[in-house]
A and B are shown apart, each in its own frame.
Chain A
Amino acid sequence: MNADARYALRLGDDALVAAQRLIQWCARAPELEEDVALANIAADLLGQARALLALAGEEEGAGRDEDDLAYLREESEFGNALLVELDNGDFAVSTAKALFFSVYQNLLYRALSAVAHPVLAGIAAKAAKETAYHVEHAALWAVRLGDGTDESHRRMQAAVDEVWPYTHELFAPDEVTRAAAFAVDPAGLRPDWARRVEAVLVEATLRRPEDGWAPSGGRAGAHTEAFGYLVGEMQVLHRAHPGVRW
């Protein structure tokens, strides 16, 4: 697969895996209004995934469509960052994941909406608006959990500490981001990301973790154990009936 296709694919994988995790909150959210909000966000992410996967299939030029890519690749062929595949944990962990990821996506899509590739730019422009809302939602919750009760503060700090190491991978350039014609250099997004995220953490009375351990490998297809279950579940029915339409 060429670099342009791989780049679109990893963006799509980020959105797809993030959506799949969010979907697991369905009928389990802390309040009904949150069930609606989270489903809405998941629907946005799924829409982004479909558009990006379709684009990747076209760039590849081998006749693979969004479903071929979502359902027939092995785990090692997925290029999503590890952050999005982490288990949902409690609402604090999910909020931390959502905050870190949505700020990253929003910055990325804003940059991408200016590239000279009309389809990609179009996808990015719509996604930039959607993710602005995702950021607002995650930030509101991060602040309320951080500055809520003693219990919520404890859980939110633990969540931030647990998820923080996985954020570094979002900003690491590699041969795909260097080779793809319309890629945005992820390292360039980090300063703005850090500023926005840190502002939220301060308002939430949370401590910004130290940078240290920086797990990675998702971009190159080396995923966590949890990912195997996620992909297995997602693909099982489709794979059980090869070549049919749904």
Chain B
Amino acid sequence: MRYRGFEAPEPPGSAELLDEVRAAEAGARAGDRAPLEPRGRSEEELLARFEEVVDADEKIEPRDWMPADYRRALVRQMSQHAHSEVVGMQPEGNWLTRAPSLARKSILLAKVQDEAGHGLYLYSAVETLGVDRESLFRALHEGRQKYLSFINYPTPTWADVGALAWLTDGAAIVNQVPLCRSSYGPYARAMVRVCKEESFHHRQGFDALWALTRGSAAQRRMAQEAVDRWWGPALAMFGPPHAQSTHSERSMRWRIKRHTNDELRQRFVDVCVPQAEALGVTLPDPALRWNAERGHHDFTPPDFEELRRVVAGDGPCNRQRVAHRRRAHEDGAWVREAAAAYAAKHREEARW
């Protein structure tokens, strides 16, 4: 894999996030405590021990006893994450054939390939809970399971690919780094792998925009207009405010989620401001300013009404994205069948 190397400096704030990932990996405690075997135990005993393990920041593993709601919440959250990686290949894949230099084409190809891989790591983690991947695809195709809202927006220009990567991968990192300390073992481990690769993606977006903001007037305009389009969807990506978020409370209790939506969104804004300055783009929020008292930036919240509509299926690209996935899956059925048929025919000959 050859690229000319990033010209832009490392985006401010990324090193700290990566340090957290490494710390999470190193700190994954080899614990002595484990949930109890269910035989002969009451629901209360099992739950009490389960919560002890979680509170001690130790891991729950696939065959452990776990509350049904914990398992349900994990399936939902990990599936949504996996679907997001896979469907997220579309807005970026949109510019693969037209990338304006071979270096950019290579980098973008690597990123899109990584996303497929991340989807696979995450589906793999969901499957440890006994849910078949095929059924997850069905849930996605039928709209019963969701993916991150920003993916339902179009990438009309090359600059959108850079802005999307800079902002949403940046948001994803802020969201995902804490998940490296998720209570569920396979999820935490998948997230460590994902986060390490994700920092490259984020950097790629920053670098692509950097080239534009230091380019021609047309390129600078392209970059600014893309940032104007993507700021809102990126902010909205963290979900509704904590008070309105149906799943948050319990997810946090059980360390499936480590921070509230609002905390994550604030962190994201604080990280983005110096990066936007370095890039030379203006974030489209007149109320954005440093608040010395709070020690954070004040900002205008995203349009939650729009988020609600997009999540409900009425964003600009929802139907297109899901239809694309469904079609790819349906078109591939004869191929998958062929491989399965071949395997069945030759099973006696092979060792497996």
Residue positions of A touching B, CB distance < 8 A: 20, 23-24, 26-36, 39-40, 42-43, 46-47, 49-51, 53, 66-67, 70-71, 90-91, 143-145, 147-149, 151-152, 155, 233-234, 236-238, 241, 244-246
What is the total of A-B residue contacts with beta carbons within 8 Å? 138
Looking at chain B's contact residues, the main secondary structure is: helix
Q: Choose, from B62-70, B96-104, B266-274, the stretch at the interface.
A: B96-104
Q: Which 7 A-B pairs have the closest CB atoms?
A: A30-B332, A148-B338, A152-B338, A39-B113, A30-B335, A35-B116, A144-B342
Decide if B215 touches A244 in the complex (CB within 8 Å).
Answer: yes
Decide if B328 touches A27 in the complex (CB within 8 Å).
Answer: yes
Q: A42-B109, A43-B109 known; 20 other A-B pairs, CB under 8 Å?
A: A23-B97, A26-B109, A27-B86, A28-B324, A30-B336, A36-B113, A39-B112, A43-B1, A43-B110, A51-B2, A53-B102, A67-B102, A149-B337, A149-B338, A151-B337, A151-B338, A155-B334, A233-B97, A234-B98, A245-B214
B85 CB to nearest chain A CB (Å): 10
Decide if B112 touches A26 in the complex (CB within 8 Å).
Answer: yes
Decide if A36 touches B105 in the complex (CB within 8 Å).
Answer: no
Q: Which residues of A contact B89 (CB under 8 A)?
A: 26-27, 35
Q: A53 CA to B101 CA in the complex, in Å?
A: 13
Decide if B97 touches A20 in the complex (CB within 8 Å).
Answer: yes
Q: Which residues of B contact A27 (CB under 8 A)?
A: 86, 89-90, 93, 112, 116, 324, 328
Q: A70 CA to B216 CA in the complex, in Å?
A: 21
Q: Which residues of A contact B277 (CB under 8 A)?
A: none
Decide if B86 touches A32 in the complex (CB within 8 Å).
Answer: yes
30 contacts between A and B (CB under 8 A): A20-B97, A23-B96, A27-B89, A27-B324, A28-B324, A31-B332, A31-B336, A32-B86, A35-B116, A39-B116, A43-B1, A43-B106, A43-B113, A47-B106, A50-B102, A71-B101, A91-B332, A144-B342, A147-B345, A149-B334, A149-B338, A152-B338, A237-B158, A238-B100, A241-B216, A241-B218, A244-B216, A244-B219, A246-B211, A246-B212
Give the residue of B2, B96, B105, B339 whose beta carbon is less than 8 angstroms from that of A148.
B339
Q: Which residues of A contact B35 (CB under 8 A)?
A: none
Give the residue of B90, B120, B216 whose beta carbon is less than 8 angstroms from that of A36.
B120
Decide if B338 touches A46 in the complex (CB within 8 Å).
Answer: no
B331 at the binding interface (Cβ < 8 Å): yes
Decide if A39 touches B109 in the complex (CB within 8 Å).
Answer: yes
Residue positions of B touching A, CB distance < 8 A: 1-2, 86, 89-90, 93, 96-106, 109-110, 112-113, 116-117, 119-120, 123, 158, 208, 211-212, 214-216, 218-219, 324, 328, 331-342, 345
Decide if B342 touches A148 in the complex (CB within 8 Å).
Answer: yes
Decide if A152 touches B106 in the complex (CB within 8 Å).
Answer: no
Q: Which residues of A contact B339 (CB under 8 A)?
A: 144, 148
Decide if A148 touches B100 in the complex (CB within 8 Å).
Answer: no
Decide if A238 touches B101 in the complex (CB within 8 Å).
Answer: yes
B182 CB to nearest chain A CB (Å): 23
Decide if B335 touches A91 in the complex (CB within 8 Å).
Answer: yes
Closest to B123 in A: A32
Q: Which residues of B contact A70 (CB under 8 A)?
A: 102
Decide if B335 touches A26 in the complex (CB within 8 Å).
Answer: no
| Residue among A20, A24, A33, A149 with the highest chain B CB neighbour number at 10 A | A149
Q: A246 CA to B112 CA in the complex, in Å?
A: 19
Closest to A238 in B: B100
Decide if A23 touches B109 in the complex (CB within 8 Å).
Answer: yes
